């Protein structure tokens, strides 16, 4: 099976988690990565610049109507829900908060699962609420691959634990093993 996109949801402890996983992905990694990191509404684009300086892939903030393509890591902008359209472009929304968050992981995961179906990989990392658990369940229901950070090793275990409670997760991995695992999946495409 060929995977066409990876979605990652992360909250408290996210900077450390992302700087562990993303630099392990090589410059020719074929699967685009789309991330919701819970941030304060007034945050700037520090996270994109910080990660871009440490990664071989290009890390940018997602924007309206950008075509999703390989070689890129897209971050949801602060205070906007990030949605994936059927034509594999982004749209942004200022709809109400979902799970106390905007951007919401569930919104990204649910719209991405509609667009990519069984060709989507969903990953839940460290975080302090249950955002993402409903979306991960939707990815699993549509035949996508689901991965959750090992809760006992997460900086904050609430989000990974909620995801594991919500659905039958395919893989529960320590943070350090997620990047190499994605690379092995991508090599087999």
Which is more confident, 44 or 112?
112
For residue 103, whether the previous peptide bond is cis, meaning omega lies within 30 degrees of 0, is yes
97 is catalytic: no
Q: From the candidates 38, 104, 106, 113, which is the catalytic residue?
A: 38
Q: Which residue has the tokens 């071989």?
A: 56
How far the first Cα of the chain sits from its last, in Å, is 7
Q: From the candidates 11, 104, 113, 133, which is the catalytic residue?
A: 11
pTM: 0.97
What is the number of alpha carbons within 13 Å of residue 59 lying toward its C-beta?
A: 24
**Closest to 162 (Cα-Cα) out of 121, 124, 113, 120:** 124
69 is catalytic: no
Pull the structure tokens for residue 143: 């035949």
Confidence at 39, pLDDT banded by 50, 70, 90: confident
At residue 1, does pLDDT exceed 70?
no
Res 43: pLDDT: 87
pLDDT in tens, 93-138: 999 999 889 999 999 999 999 999 999 999 999 999 999 999 999 9
List residues bridging with 109 in a β-sheet: none
49 is catalytic: no
User: What number of other Cβ atoms are within 10 A of residue 71's Cβ?
Assistant: 15
Q: How far apart are CA 158 and CA 33, in angstroms?
A: 23
**All structural domains of the chain:** 5-187 (3.40.50.180)
Q: From the candidates 81, 113, 131, 161, which is the catalytic residue?
A: 131
> Looking at the chain, how many residues does it have?
189
């Amino acid at each position: 099976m060929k995977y066409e996109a990876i979605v990652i949801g992360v909250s408290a402890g996210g900077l450390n988690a992302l700087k562990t996983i993303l630099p392990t992905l090589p410059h020719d990694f074929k699967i685009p990565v789309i991330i919701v990191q819970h941030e304060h509404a007034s945050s700037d684009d520090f996270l994109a610049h910080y990660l871009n300086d440490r990664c071989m892939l290009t890390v940018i903030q997602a924007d309206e109507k950008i075509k999703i393509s390989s070689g890129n890591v897209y971050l949801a902008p602060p205070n906007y829900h990030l949605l994936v359209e059927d034509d594999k472009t982004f749209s942004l929304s200022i709809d109400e908060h979902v799970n106390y968050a905007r951007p919401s992981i569930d919104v990204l995961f649910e719209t991405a699962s509609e667009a990519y179906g069984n060709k989507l990989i969903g990953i839940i990392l460290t975080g302090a609420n249950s955002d993402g658990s409903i979306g991960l369940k939707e990815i699993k229901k549509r035949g996508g691959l689901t991965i959750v950070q090992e809760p006992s090793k997460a900086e904050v275990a609430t989000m990974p634990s909620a995801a594991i409670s919500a659905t039958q997760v395919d893989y529960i991995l320590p943070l350090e093993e997620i990047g190499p695992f994605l690379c092995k999946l991508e090599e087999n495409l």
